[in-house]
Structure formats: C-alpha cells, structure tokens
Amino acid sequence: MAQRTPHSEDGQTLPLVIAFMVCILLFAGLVIDLGQAYRTRIQLQASADAASLAGAARFPDAGTANSTAYAYSARNGSKNSIPGVPNVAVAVQTKCSKSLPNCVGANTVVVDETASVPTTFLRLIGIKNIPIKVHATACSPCNAVPLDVMFVLDRTGSMCEDSNGNDQHPSCPDMTNAKSGMMAFLGEMDSSIDRVGLTVFPPARTIGSKCSAPTSSNNYAYNTASAPYVIVPLSSDYKAPGPNGAINNASNLVSTINCVQAGGGTAYATAIDKARTDLETNGRINAWKVIIFLSDGAANTAPSYYSNSSPYKTQPCHQGITSAQVAKNEKFLVYSIGYDLNATAAGANVCQNANNGNDETPTITTQDALTQIADPGQFYNHPSATDLAGVFVRISADIAQGTSRLFDDGT
C-alpha cells in the first residue's frame, strides 16, 4: 500500500497574519488620527472662545469687536493659529441679543471656526481629512457685575435758559433733555442687580420739598448744612426686574426725576461729596460704584458754612475736581457730561471765586473742570438736545465694557 504524504501547511497562516496586521494598523490609525482630531478640536474651541471674548470686550464699537475677534481666531497668521492645521475658516458675526441689556449697535460676538485635520493612517481606507466645526458666543456688557449708580444732576437756573441766557420757562428744554437722558439710562439697567439714586444741586430745602423749584432764600438752600443733596437713595424699583423690564413711573426715583425743577447758582463740590458718601455708606461691597455727573456751567458759589479761605469758596471748580478725585481714589467710576458748554451768557463758562466773583486762581474753564472731574476718557462734551439720551446709553454700555463672558446662545 502506498504511504500518504501529509500536505504542507506552510504559508496558510500568512494571509491571516496580514489581515490581522492590517486591522491593527487601521485600529492604530483610528486611535492616532481621531486623537489628533480631538486635540485639534480642543485647540480650535479654545481659539473660538478667545476670539469671541476678545471681540466682545471691544464693544460698543462693533467694527473693532469684529476685527479683534478675527485677530484672536485660529485663522492662518492670527494670534491663535494652530500649527499643522491649514486653511481654518473663520466666520465672525456681531449682533444685538435682546436677552441682554445695554445693546448699542451690538452686544454679542458669534465665532464659528471650521477646519479639516489631515489624516495619516486613515488614508489607507480613503479618509484623507476629518472635518471639525466649533462655535462660541460671548457678550459684553452682560451686566454680570452689580452696579450702584448715583446721578449728580445740575438743576441750576441755567438749565432753563438758552445759550444766550434767555429764560425758557416753563418748557426748560435743557432740563427736559437731561431727564430724558437719565430715563434712557434706567432703561438699559437691570433692576434685579443694579441700583440707582439721585443727587442734585442746589440741594432741596427738605426731602418733602424736593420737587419744588429752588428759591433765592438762604442762597437756594446751599447755606443750610442739613439741606439734602441726595434726594433719592439707591433704589431698585425704578423698573420691572430684568434687562427688558418696563419703567416704573410710580417709583420714587422715576417720579422724582420727572418732578425736579431748576433754579439757583452752581456749586458742585459738595454735591459730589454727598454722592460719594452715600455710595460709601449704602453701596454694596460686591457692586461697582459709579457717579454720573451732569452740568451746564461753571461753579460760582458755595455754602456759607465754609470759611472764606476754604477752597470750596475760593476755588469751587478746582474743589469739584478734588472731591471727584477722592471718589476715584476709592475705585469709583466717575463720568461727567458737559451740557451746552458753548453758552455765551456772561460768566457761563468761567469758574469764579465765590467770595468776590473774580476768576478762580489758577484760571480754569468749565470744560477743563468737567474733564478733570471724570475718569480719563469719560467726559462727554457738548451733547445736543437730540443726543443726550444717547450719551447716557453709551455710558451705561461703557460701565459694563470689558466684562465679556461666554454664554450659550442655543446654537
């Protein structure tokens, strides 16, 4: 009988080994390429976040916000470009989100970035790129920081005069425009976290007479040491809660703004002192403290209870600057608005010694005084009757500028 020779099995396992090695390579490729895509996505998201935050911090200038967002994106050649990831596409949109307060042109930056991450091992099965898309939205102002704001309102007689000193009672357009500006500001605040009060000069004779026009008796109440300058304390009932709440016309603040009348001469330093003291005493620890000062003329009088050598009398404008500096040294934000500073009436824009009516020494103009009362860059000059409300709205936006944060816009 012939003896059978067993068939050789050499080479039969080679295809299995090759198939196994291909699977290993594909699995390794999947891990490596997907890992690279994941790391790139993290970098891309970080750049989109940075771009939207940097852009939002530049509001209210929407154009600058847009260009800044592009500069901080992952686009090639930008600050946050990603090595090894070419052709990153970036889309930036600035828009007005009505769910947020203080929208002057835009308050939201939306950044979308897309990229294709080149593969290495996955090319073996025809996958040359892994697409990635990220999205980020940042707002500013987001009004995340609570504010304690004190208006300091010039309600002197010149607020009811035209630029030539002619009487404009009872319409008092300057005073009416100032009130409209303050109301526009309140409309931008969120009463659930922001409080606002009102200080006036001349002061009221009593709180009960705060709506009465100042009279010449006792130098328009300047000479009464107990006369109240702060006629509305910090309050939060001026509108319904939320950034879009309706103004509450029955509130103490709104009704008082609407009822105050003009009369008397100008002395701002004590009013600034009283506003600062009230914010110090009644302001919240976690709130930014803000003074918004509005005047249309030069200081030219002072309370009689100061000595004749006091700078409150000899240099009423310079003392106003000094009083404001005390607040600024305590990290208060101080804004000033010069209203109708082109007035031609005699003495309208000349700071005077309250003792003798001579010019202050050294000489200082109203514009210089109001510029120095404000923080650098926060003096608003010559608003017209049509843009005073806009000035107050820009101030409300500026207060919160730089407080940009990311938020979920639902996309």
| Residues 131 and 174 both lie in one domain | no
Mean pLDDT of the chain: 85
- CATH value at residue 288: 3.40.50.410
Determine the pLDDT at residue 31.
78
Q: What is the pLDDT of residues 257-316, one digit of tens each?
A: 999 999 999 999 999 999 999 999 999 998 889 999 999 888 999 999 999 999 999 999
| Residues 106 and 157 both lie in one domain | no
Q: Which residue has the higher pLDDT, 209 or 59?
A: 209
Query: Considering 113, 139, 165, which residue would you say is the last residue of a domain?
Result: 139
| Residues 130 and 152 both lie in one domain | no
Residue 1 lies in a domain: no
| Residues 232 and 131 both lie in one domain | no
Residue 295 lies in a domain: yes
Q: What is the pLDDT of residues 75-104, one digit of tens each?
A: 877 777 877 777 889 999 999 887 665 566
Q: Which residue has the higher pLDDT, 114 or 341?
A: 114
Our count of domains for the chain comes to: 2
pLDDT bin (cut points 50, 70, 90) of residue 8 is low
| Residues 250 and 106 both lie in one domain | no
Quote the domain boundaries for residue 311: 147-399
Residue 112 lies in a domain: yes
| Residues 94 and 222 both lie in one domain | no
Q: What is the pLDDT of residues 16-57, one digit of tens each?
A: 667 667 677 667 667 787 888 888 888 888 888 888 888 888
Determine the pLDDT at residue 387.
62
| Residues 98 and 127 both lie in one domain | yes
| Residues 372 and 286 both lie in one domain | yes
Query: Considering 117, 139, 161, which residue would you say is the last residue of a domain?
Result: 139
Which of 113-117, 129-133, 204-208: highest mean pLDDT? Answer: 204-208
Query: Considering 90, 120, 139, which residue would you say is the last residue of a domain?
Result: 139
Q: What is the pLDDT of residues 311-364, one digit of tens each?
A: 999 999 999 999 999 999 998 989 999 887 765 454 557 899 999 999 999 999
| Residues 157 and 282 both lie in one domain | yes
Task: Decide if pLDDT at 13 tops 50.
Answer: yes
Helix axes 269-282, 316-329, angle to 10 degrees: 20
Task: Decide if pLDDT at 10 tops 60.
Answer: no
Determine the pLDDT at residue 19.
67
Lowest-confidence segment of 137-146, 150-159, 393-402 by average pLDDT: 393-402
| Residues 346 and 258 both lie in one domain | yes
Determine the pLDDT at residue 339.
82
Q: What is the pLDDT of residues 121-135, one digit of tens each?
A: 777 778 888 899 999
Quick one: three-class SS letters along the chain?
CCCCCCCCCCCCCHHHHHHHHHHHHHHHHHHHHHHHHHHHHHHHHHHHHHHHHHHHCCCCCHHHHHHHHHHCCCCCCCCCCCCCCCCCEEEEEEECCCCCCCCECECEEEEEEEEEEECCCHHHHCCCEEEEEEEEEEECCCCCCCEEEEEEEECCHHHHECCCCCECCCCCHHHHHHHHHHHHHHHHCCCCCCEEEEEEECCCCCHHHCCCCCCCCCCCCCCCCCCCCEEEEEECCCECCCCCCCECCCCHHHHHHHHCCCCCCCCCHHHHHHHHHHHHHHCCCCCEEEEEEEECCCCCCCCCCCCCCCHHHHCHHHHHHHHHHHHHHCCCEEEEEECCCCCCCCCCCECECCCCCCECCCCCEHHHHHHHHCCCCCEEECCCCCCHHHHHHHHHHHHHCCCCEECCCCC
Residue 410 lies in a domain: no
Calculate mean pLDDT across residues 212-236.
Answer: 95
| Residues 240 and 331 both lie in one domain | yes
Residue 2 lies in a domain: no
Determine the pLDDT at residue 92.
94
| Residues 287 and 228 both lie in one domain | yes
Closest CA to 133 of 36, 262, 250, 41: 41
